[in-house]
Structure 1
Amino acid sequence: MNVILYLSVALIAIAFFILVIYLVKTLKTVQGMLQSLTKTIEGIEKQMNEIGTETTQLLHKTNAVADDVQKKVESLNAVFDAVKQVGATVQTFNDSLTKKLTANEQKVAQVVQWGNALLEIWEKWKEKKNK
């Protein structure tokens, strides 16, 4: 019976040894996977830092472009105001010119009427002279 007990203990020790070997292999595999995961996470952290830096630079450039656009819009507003003033001046000039032409139109009409009257008198005088 002692032999069976020794054999049983030896068999249990061998099984435990095999179990330990498989556990060691499994733990080494898990360790390798964790190291790979750690490297991947470190790479992702580095990429995230780079993305953050690039995003900050892009934001600064966007703000600079927005400021530039705002300045250009303000300068265009000044140009549009100047064009508007020129348009108002031209309109005032046209109105003034139209008024003067209207006033002179009556004088021209009178001159034409006088001219027609003089031509009629001239033709009548010519007719009298010819008779």
Structure 2
Amino acid sequence: MQIILSLSAALVAVAFFILVIYLVKTLKSLQAILTGVSKTLKEVEKHLEDVTTETTLLLKKTNVLADDFQHKAESLNSVVDAVKDVGSTVSKFNGTLNNLSTSFDRQVEENKEKVSQIIQWSDVLLELKDKWRARKQSKNENTPNERQRVRSN
């Protein structure tokens, strides 16, 4: 029975040795895998740092652009207000021109008769002026002829 026990113990020892060999191989494979995972995680961490840095820069630029946009929007508001003021001024000016035009039309209507008389008198004066020029011109034309007559006599 001792032989059976010795053989059993030897068999258990060989089985345990084989088990240990497979465990060592498995653990070495696991170590290689974990080393690869560790390298991958380091690379991912580096990429995340780069992404974080770029994201921070992008956020800063976005904030600067937002501030610039806000400033320009405020400037644009003042321009819009100025344009509104110009529009109001033009509207008031148009209203004043309309009032003046209406007043002028009313005064023309009221003084239509007087304007008509002034135009008639100016026509008469122009006719008199033309007649006066015509007489003056005819006198100037007659004057040399009379001189020639006086010389002939």
TM-score normalised by L of structure 1: 0.79
Partner of 1:40: 40
Counterpart for residue 85 of structure 2:
85
Could you tell me which residue of structure 1 aligns to residue 145 of structure 2? none
Q: How many residues are treated as equivalent by the alignment?
A: 118
Q: Shift of the alpha carbon at 1:109?
A: 1.4
Once the two structures are superposed, residues 97-116 of structure 1 have per-residue CA deviations (whole angstroms, 9 ceiling, x without a partner) of: 11111111112113334539
Match of 1:64 in 2: 64
Aligned amino acid, residue 50 of structure 1? D
The residue type paired with residue 102 of structure 2 is T
In the alignment, structure 1 segments of 5+ residues that lack a partner are 120-131
| Matched residue type, 2:42 | E
Q: Which residue of 2 aligns with 1:26?
A: 26
- Which whole-Å deviations, capped at 9, do the CAs of 1:10-45 have from their partners, x for residues lacking one? 222211111111110111111111111111222222
The percent identity for this pair of structures is 51
Listed as ranges, the matches of 1:1-131 within 5 Å are 1-114=1-114, 115=116
Moved more, 102-111 or 55-64: 102-111
Measured on the aligned residues, the alpha-carbon RMSD in Å equals: 2.0
Gaps of at least 5 residues in structure 2 are: 121-153
Q: Deviations over 1:29-84 (max 9, x none)?
A: 11111111111222222222222111111110000000111111111112111111
Determine the C-alpha separation between the residues in 2 that align with 1:15 and 1:90.
Answer: 107
For the residue of structure 1 that corresponds to 2:111, the secondary structure is helix
TM-score, L = length of structure 2: 0.68
